[in-house]
Chain A
Amino acid sequence: MGNSSEPDYDGALNGIETSRERMAGLRLFGVLAASLVVALILSAAVCLLPENDYQKWQLQDPDGRLRWIYERIHFDPTPIDVAIVGPSRAQLGLSAAAIEQDLAQRGKRVNVANFAMLGSGRDLQWAILDELFKAKSPKVVVLEVDEEPYPFGHFLFKHVGLTEAIVFPPSPFLHNYLYNLAYLPIRKLKLFGANLFPGLFGLTKEFDPKHYAENRTDYSTSFIGDGKLVDMEHRVSRDTLLAEPREPVPRTRFARLLTRINGGEDHLFIEKIAREAKAHGTQLVFVHLPMFEGPRTVSDEDFLKQFGPVLNYGDLAPRDELFENWSHLNHAGAMNASARLADAIAGLKL
């Protein structure tokens, strides 16, 4: 009887212990959450730092091509009437000089610039064209399209994309969105430092005409890439081309899911390009350069046709004499494709 009226000391002590642990746990959670918030605030604050655009286009540029593109657009007074953008298939497979010459023979004096570069991803091509529209008024923009739209962004977009374009992309459900966003503070900090100490970061602020003039602009003839000679004149046998290991575009489940949600990064940026082109009165032309013995059709041709004509050179696919390797045309192939493109451009109202 007496025991039942005694206070429950053990229970009370346990209760105090439990509430103390709960408080400690909450305090810990608060500390960790606050540290995350601090890191995020600092990262956001860094994103407000100014950046020098010229230095931005040199930030990650192993072969100097991005710098050359920026210089061609902003420092070279020669107008640009036709601009070509796309991956390396277009960089090696279309010759700006050959197209210019071909059109000149037809009495059309136009300036062609090939801004295609290594790697797929339409976001970078949009960034290049966006920069182009700021300074020049191209009449025609040629976009190379593959058999299947590439489901990811370009690995270099995070270096040159506009801050607003990285933070507020056409859809938040982009495959590279977080990857690009996470890199933004790093880029901003580097460019801020480079603006103050260009020599320390190896990013120049001064345009050097001599350096610009030394750039290779046409890749349809032999060149040195990654320390190796890429012989564009050499005839590669059919067996060698067939034996080359092909790198398929990775089709991850995540990429497929995102494509289902947002229609695919490629289409989102093509729509963006088409809007800007329309605003500047520029005509869009799509060109398909095939892989050796690859598909001869463009899977999203109907989508592309709403923005401009689709020039499908898939018939070149079985002709081994036109290929440098399984995915790139050689000099003969580039001359063939360039002649056909010049022919198509000649038919446009320039």
Chain B
Amino acid sequence: MSFTSPLFYVVLVPAVAVFYWFSGRWRAIYLLALSYAFYALSSRVYLVLLIVASAAVYALGLAIAKSNGERAKQAYLAVGVAAVIAVIVAFKAAGAWRGFLLPLGVSFYSFKLISYLIEVYWDDEAVERDPIVFFLFPAFFPQIISGPIQRPEPFFTQMRAIMARSLNADQIETGFRFILGGLMMKTLVGDRLGAFIETIDQSHTNYSYGVMLTTVACYTLQLYADFSGYTNIALGIGKLFGVEGPPNFNAPFLAVNIQDMWRRWHMSLTLWLTDYLFTPLSMSLRDYGQAGLIGAICLNMIIIGVWHGFTLNYLVFGILHAVFLSVTVLILGELARRKRAAGKAKAPPTPGWRPPGALLRVLGAALTFALMSFSQIFFHSETFSQATSILAQLAGAAPSGSTGWSDMPAYFSVPAWICMGVALYVGAGAPGARGLFGSLNRTAPNWLQYGVCLFLLSVLSTEGSGQFIYGQF
């Protein structure tokens, strides 16, 4: 059942009401049953895999916490992490080479389980002994499709709090608002951009250079609208059950370089990898200086790439970002070094015109967006040859078609431009929106705003909305 299906919400509303009708520990039991039921709708066989994986990690967590010797702890950790990674690798490999359908959310709940084992290894106190609360952690249905990847400790703390307290009306209303916003972003913007891209993809060589360039930019905008929309829906549903999840996006189109972009894009994954892979790796490679740092960056980014799937396209996507990020880190390091040197020498400022900071930021954001969109050619394309064909067209090595924007019917091009504008505006932090909503809140009550949003959703959604891009990972 998709988060964009009206039927899902018809079921969700009474499910939330029943949740608050229960009290204490029954709430967690009910939420676990609900999460497993949701998963079973996708696959009963893979539900068994989820339960077995959860049980194994639960047992290993207890064993790590109980062990006194460092070697025993390391052995349990290694077994647990290796087993979970083996599951991901096996399914990703089977998916890439045999066309096997991935179990729902396997990448996301595996990351949660790994983080739990590492946290317990670092600190025995992080162990969760309550099996219901623990089993709920990987299975929590609002986050299982595509995250966000929540850390164990905040989740366990919140679950214990929910069992103790009663309904929080403000949190539920905020959750409802998140769901509305997410649905609008996903179905009104992301899906429309998706329909536009799909049409161009069918015969991209027929379209002019300008159209293709805009379409490549659309890859990034659509992914943002789709994934940030999903994230808001997931966060909103979590709030309905009293769980605050971590954010995934922070105005990514304001990023002034690729390093900044990764701090704002799919943040829960980036932070996970930074904490559990990049930081330990760069610490162990620090003796090698900048080469060690670059090595850690490359490995991290390539893992991000192939985590999406074992295909050449995702590998190239990872390598491209490894290169972009390494170059960025080197340039920023050099600039910082020069600044420090200049500060020590107290040299007078160089005479002549210098670009203002705002202009530099705009140029940086534009370049970052261009690099991101360039890498999206590989991320978006179904095959490597499709990606190279688009690249050849953009590089002028293959001819472009004659169909330009002016040749397209208005009902096709105008919605695409509007959606591009909205995605860019929201992805740039929706400048001015706070003031606008502030004045709107003073004039229109919440129920009226929500009602209008529900109406817009019902009349402007495209048919066939539903699939989330990140649902396949």
A residues near B (Cβ < 8 Å) are: 18, 21, 24-25, 27-28, 30-32, 34-39, 41-43, 46, 182, 185-186, 189, 199-202
Out of B166, B169, B170, B451, name the residue touching A42 (CB < 8 Å). B451
Chain B positions 1 through 34: 1 when the CB is less than 8 Å from some CB of chain A, otherwise 0: 0000010000000000000000000000000000
B residues near A (Cβ < 8 Å) are: 6, 166-167, 169-170, 172-173, 176, 409-411, 414, 446-455, 458-460
- On whether the beta carbons of B451 and A38 are closer than 8 Å, the reply is yes
Would you give the shortest CB distance from A199 to chain B, in whole angstroms? 6
- On whether the beta carbons of B451 and A34 are closer than 8 Å, the reply is yes
Smallest Cβ-Cβ distance to A31: which chain B residue: B447
Chain A residues positioned under 8 Å from B166 (CB to CB): 18, 21
- On whether the beta carbons of B454 and A35 are closer than 8 Å, the reply is yes
Chain A residues positioned under 8 Å from B458 (CB to CB): 39, 43, 182, 185-186
Smallest Cβ-Cβ distance to B166: which chain A residue: A21
- On whether the beta carbons of B446 and A42 are closer than 8 Å, the reply is no
Total number of residue pairs linking A and B with CB closer than 8 Å: 73
Chain B residues positioned under 8 Å from A201 (CB to CB): 410-411
Out of B169, B411, B450, B452, name the residue touching A24 (CB < 8 Å). B169
Chain B residues positioned under 8 Å from A21 (CB to CB): 166-167, 169
- On whether the beta carbons of A31 and B450 are closer than 8 Å, the reply is yes
Smallest Cβ-Cβ distance to B414: which chain A residue: A200
- On whether the beta carbons of A36 and B169 are closer than 8 Å, the reply is no
Chain B residues positioned under 8 Å from A28 (CB to CB): 169, 172-173
A38-B169 contact given A43-B455, A46-B459, A186-B459, CB 8 Å threshold = no
Would you give the shortest CB distance from A227 to chain B, in whole angstroms? 11
Which of B166, B167, B170, B411 counts the most A-chain CB atoms under 10 A from its CB? B411
- On whether the beta carbons of A36 and B451 are closer than 8 Å, the reply is yes
- On whether the beta carbons of B452 and A38 are closer than 8 Å, the reply is yes
Would you give the shortest CB distance from B5 to chain A, in whole angstroms? 12
The contact sample of 25 A-B pairs, CB cut-off 8 A, is: A21-B169, A27-B169, A28-B169, A28-B172, A30-B447, A31-B173, A32-B176, A32-B450, A35-B446, A35-B447, A35-B454, A36-B454, A37-B451, A38-B448, A39-B454, A39-B455, A41-B451, A42-B451, A42-B455, A43-B455, A43-B458, A182-B6, A199-B410, A200-B414, A202-B409
- On whether the beta carbons of A185 and B459 are closer than 8 Å, the reply is yes
Chain A residues positioned under 8 Å from B167 (CB to CB): 21, 24-25
Smallest Cβ-Cβ distance to B172: which chain A residue: A28
Would you give the shortest CB distance from A179 to chain B, in whole angstroms? 10
Chain A residues positioned under 8 Å from B460 (CB to CB): 186
Would you give the shortest CB distance from B145 to chain A, in whole angstroms? 24
- On whether the beta carbons of A25 and B451 are closer than 8 Å, the reply is no
Chain B residues positioned under 8 Å from A24 (CB to CB): 167, 169-170
Smallest Cβ-Cβ distance to B17: which chain A residue: A29
Smallest Cβ-Cβ distance to A193: which chain B residue: B411
Give the top 10 A-B pairs by smallest Cβ distance, nearest first: A38-B451, A35-B450, A24-B169, A39-B454, A34-B447, A35-B451, A42-B455, A28-B169, A39-B455, A200-B410
Chain A residues positioned under 8 Å from B176 (CB to CB): 32
Would you give the shortest CB distance from A252 to chain B, in whole angstroms? 14
- On whether the beta carbons of A43 and B451 are closer than 8 Å, the reply is no
Given contacts A36-B454, A43-B455, 11 further A-B contacts (CB under 8 A): A32-B176, A32-B447, A35-B447, A35-B451, A36-B451, A39-B452, A42-B452, A46-B459, A186-B458, A189-B459, A202-B409
Bound CA–CA A263/B167 (angstroms): 46
Chain B residues positioned under 8 Å from A36 (CB to CB): 451, 454
Chain A residues positioned under 8 Å from B172 (CB to CB): 28
Would you give the shortest CB distance from A145 to chain B, in whole angstroms? 29
A39-B169 contact given A31-B446, A32-B176, A202-B409, CB 8 Å threshold = no
Would you give the shortest CB distance from A181 to chain B, in whole angstroms? 11
Chain B residues positioned under 8 Å from A37 (CB to CB): 451
Would you give the shortest CB distance from B191 to chain A, in whole angstroms? 14
Bound CA–CA A26/B452 (angstroms): 21
Out of A41, A189, A200, name the residue touching B411 (CB < 8 Å). A200
Chain B residues positioned under 8 Å from A31 (CB to CB): 173, 446-447, 450
